């Protein structure tokens, strides 16, 4: 496309240089520029993308999108006020407005996003529909999966992935929408059929600073939703909200879309009751605006009832009968790295879980306590270069619900691992937890080994924080590391 034609979509823009230059592709990372690409200079948090314009030019970029003209770079330039917004606008042009050609279902919330997307995907697949999925673990469609570096892609990548799905006749895209993504405009220009809220609890305060700002970032999702009321009801947008979370009232006020509520403790459009959790699964009764049912999940934990309710509400809106939804949910064994049992025939239980927030850890530990016959041994850590304030809180929670706690490393990144462990320990010290109830083992491998060696008949070892992850990030290096494999080896190595 010609630069001057692209400029018509950004009214307040200004061109310097040849406005008739042809932009054959579009890119925001100089390391990925192809000849003829339009290179977008994004003002980053760590580095300024304008710095890489020269490199992009050397690699054959045809033109730039900039927030300030770069005289030193000999390329035509389109100056805009906000190049991240421009990226979302132009991404739609290059990839033909893909979210208008499938139904995008987005899930936001502190915990439960990945799980809920998997449940919704399963229900849609079982109906013969063709959903794509984008989230923390991977993006996948039609049997093909690609691992994802982050939960929600940049606007341009998102439009590209949606376009690829549309080309293969996808019916839906079920995706996680992180608060970082909302704040950075990664989902601007994506038309959502349904926006789902799971819950809001503490995380990411390194980035958002306060819970109010974190809630406001999530609020952007709902405030942008459904302001048009298409005549065709199948094209309307919906907000699916957890009534048991106080933030839902705030989101309901922000959105123009019709809201559908779900919950356990308050009146809701989709409401669960009679919840019973065992080591093998969870049963509950639901009343919905499309009938009622008794459901038995193979997944454990009350929190998974909430994830199931969100999935039920969302898929009822797609016109799927409750009876079919029930069948699909009952067939799901679980989600990779979420309360995943490591079973090598040992006499105690080992669970790997992705809880990496105070609320996530509390939920999973509560659940484990509901079925543990012996002691609960909890191995966990907190990520480096991430929310520091959650560390002592998670320490307190681990000691409150665990009989023995092993504090260890979880992606220390560029922080000193020992200091992260000390930040966690501060919570235990504040609660006067005696030294014989916990220990600090920096090496996660050794920590898992120790937990398994100390476990006896009927105990539960919970290894939290990394779930599906197959790496440990130390400094800037990424090492192979999989809690599940290490636990397996440790169990096999036990002298029987
Ligand atoms: C805080 C945050 O979200 N940062 C994201 C943001 O970084 P940034 O704005 O600082 O960008 P940058 O890396 O400084 O680069 C600026 C520009 O220069 C370009 N560049 C950079 C280097 C180079 O050699 N050439 C080049 O062109 C970059 O492509 C970019 O356009 O934009 C980058 C480009 O897309 C992201 O890689 C980066 O994610 C960082 C790595 C990250 O860790 N993000 C996490 C916190 C995150 O987003 N997490 C949420 C999920 C959390 C949850 O699950 O709850 C997520 O959605 O994954
Ligand atoms: N609805 C829920 N409420 C609270 N905790 C939950 C809920 N669902 C899952 N969890 C806990 O949080 C962990 C992460 O779950 P999941 O991966 O589904 O969340 P997520 O929101 O996708 O996380 P991320 O922010 O990393 O993408 C689980 O392993 C479990 O311990
Ligand atoms: N998506 C979350 C995952 C954290 C998982 C934990 N293992 C860590 O590295 O802190 C984040 O980026 O904050
Ligand atoms: Mg996720």
Which CATH number fits the domain that encloses residue 201?
3.40.1190.10
pTM above 0.90, yes or no: yes
Tokens found for residue 456: 């006896």
> What's the token pair of residue 142?
């039609």
Query: 280 and 390: one domain?
Result: no
Exposure of 188 in the CB half-sphere (CA atoms within 13 A)? 16
Averaged pLDDT, 46-58: 97
Is the pLDDT at 189 greater than 60? The verdict is yes
Q: Among 75, 95, 115, which residue terminates a domain?
A: 95
ipTM score for this prediction:
0.95
Domain co-membership, 275 together with 422: no
Strand arrangement of the beta sheet that strand 77-79 belongs to: 14-16, 77-79, 63-66, 37-40, 25-27
**Per-residue pLDDT tens over the stretch 435-466:** 999 999 999 999 999 999 999 999 999 999 99
pLDDT at 496 (0 to 100):
56
Q: Name the band, by pLDDT with cuts 50, 70 and 90, for residue 4.
A: very high
Among protein residues, the one with the nearest Cα to ligand 3's atom 9 is: 383
Helix (H, G, I), strand (E, B), or coil: what is residue 50?
Answer: helix
- For ligand 3, the distance from its centroid to the CA atom of residue 383, given in whole angstroms, is 6
CB 410 within 8 A of CB 383: yes
Say if residue 19's pLDDT is above 80. Answer: yes
Residue 28 alpha carbon, nearest atom of ligand 1: 31
Secondary structure class of 479 (helix, strand, coil): strand
Position 277 scores a pLDDT of 86
Are residues 275 and 388 both part of a single domain?
no
Same domain (yes/no): 170, 314: yes
Asked if residue 356 has its Cβ within 6 Å of ligand 3, the reply is yes
Instruction: Please give the pLDDT value at position 489.
Output: 97
Distance between Cα 285 and ligand 2 center (Å): 23
Please give the residue range of the domain that contains residue 273.
Answer: 98-331
The count of structural domains within the chain is 3
Return the percentage of the chain with pLDDT > 90, whole number: 95
Q: Residue 72 — pLDDT band, cuts 50, 70, 90?
A: very high
Can you give the CATH number for the domain in which 32 is found? 3.40.1390.10
360 is in an annotated binding site: no
The 10s digit of each residue's pLDDT in 198-246 is 999 888 888 888 999 999 999 999 999 999 999 998 889 999 999 999 9
Residue 433 exposure: Cα atoms within 13 Å on the Cβ side = 25
Query: Would you say residue 495 has pLDDT above 90?
Result: no
Mean pLDDT check: name the lowest of 96-105, 155-164, 336-345. 336-345
pLDDT surpassing 90 at residue 353: yes
Query: Does 367 lie in the same domain as 483?
Result: yes
**Average pLDDT in the chain:** 96
Contact 72, 63 (CB under 8 A): no
**What percent of the chain is predicted at pLDDT more than 70?**
100
**More reliable by pLDDT, 381 or 46:** 381
The ligand 2 atom at the shortest distance from the C-alpha of residue 353 is 29
* pLDDT at res. 207: 87
Q: Of 70, 95, 120, which residue constitutes the final position of a domain?
A: 95
Which of 235, 225, 159 has the alpha carbon at shortest distance from 197? 225
């Amino acid at each position: 496309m010609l630069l001057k034609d692209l400029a018509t979509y950004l009214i307040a823009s200004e061109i310097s240089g040849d406005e008739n230059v042809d932009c054959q592709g579009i890119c925001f990372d100089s390391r990925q520029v192809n000849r003829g690409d339009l290179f977008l200079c994004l003002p980053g948090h760590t580095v300024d993308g304008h710095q890489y314009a020269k490199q992009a030019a050397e690699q054959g970029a045809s033109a730039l999108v900039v927030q300030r003209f770069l005289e030193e770079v000999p390329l035509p330039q389109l100056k805009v006020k906000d190049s991240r917004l421009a990226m979302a606008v132009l991404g739609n042009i290059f990839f033909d407005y893909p979210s208008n050609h499938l139904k995008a279902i987005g899930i936001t919330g502190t915990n439960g996003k990945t799980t809920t997307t998997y449940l919704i995907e399963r229900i849609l697949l079982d109906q013969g529909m063709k959903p794509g999925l984008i989230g923390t673990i991977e993006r996948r469609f039609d049997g093909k999966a690609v691992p994802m570096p982050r939960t929600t892609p940049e606007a341009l990548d998102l439009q590209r992935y949606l376009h690829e799905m549309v080309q293969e006749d996808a019916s839906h895209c079920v995706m996680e929408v992180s608060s970082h993504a909302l704040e950075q405009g990664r989902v601007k220009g994506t038309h959502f059929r349904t926006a789902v809220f799971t819950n809001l609890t503490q995380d990411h305060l390194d980035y958002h600073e306060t819970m109010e700002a974190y809630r406001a970032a999530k609020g952007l999702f709902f405030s942008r939703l459904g302001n048009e009321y298409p005549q065709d009801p199948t094209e309307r947008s919906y907000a699916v909200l957890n009534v048991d979370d106080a933030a839902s009232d705030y989101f309901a006020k922000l959105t123009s879309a019709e809201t559908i509520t779900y919950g356990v403790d308050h009146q809701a459009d989709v409401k669960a009751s009679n919840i019973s959790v065992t080591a093998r699964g969870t049963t509950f009764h639901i009343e919905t605006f499309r009938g009622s049912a008794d459901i038995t999940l193979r997944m454990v934990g009350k929190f998974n009832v909430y994830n199931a309710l969100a999935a039920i509400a969302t898929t009822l809106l797609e016109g799927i009968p409750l009876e079919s939804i029930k069948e699909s949910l009952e067939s799901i064994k679980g989600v990779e790295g979420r309360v995943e049992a490591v079973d090598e025939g040992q006499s105690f239980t080992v669970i790997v879980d992705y809880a990496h927030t105070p609320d996530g850890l509390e939920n999973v530990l509560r659940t484990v306590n509901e079925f543990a016959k012996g002691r609960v041994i909890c191995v966990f850590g907190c990520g480096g270069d991430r929310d520091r304030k959650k560390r002592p809180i998670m320490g307190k929670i681990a000691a409150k619900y665990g009989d023995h706690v092993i504090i260890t490393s979880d992606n220390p990144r560029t922080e000193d691992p020992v200091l992260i462990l000390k930040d966690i320990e501060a919570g235990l010290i504040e609660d006067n937890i005696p030294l014989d109830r916990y220990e600090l083992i920096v090496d996660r491998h050794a920590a898992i080994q120790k937990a398994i060696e100390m476990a006896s008949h009927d105990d539960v070892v919970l290894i939290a924080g990394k779930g599906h992850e197959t790496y440990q990030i130390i400094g800037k290096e990424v090492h192979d590391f999989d809690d599940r494999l290490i636990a397996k080896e440790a169990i096999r190595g036990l002298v029987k």
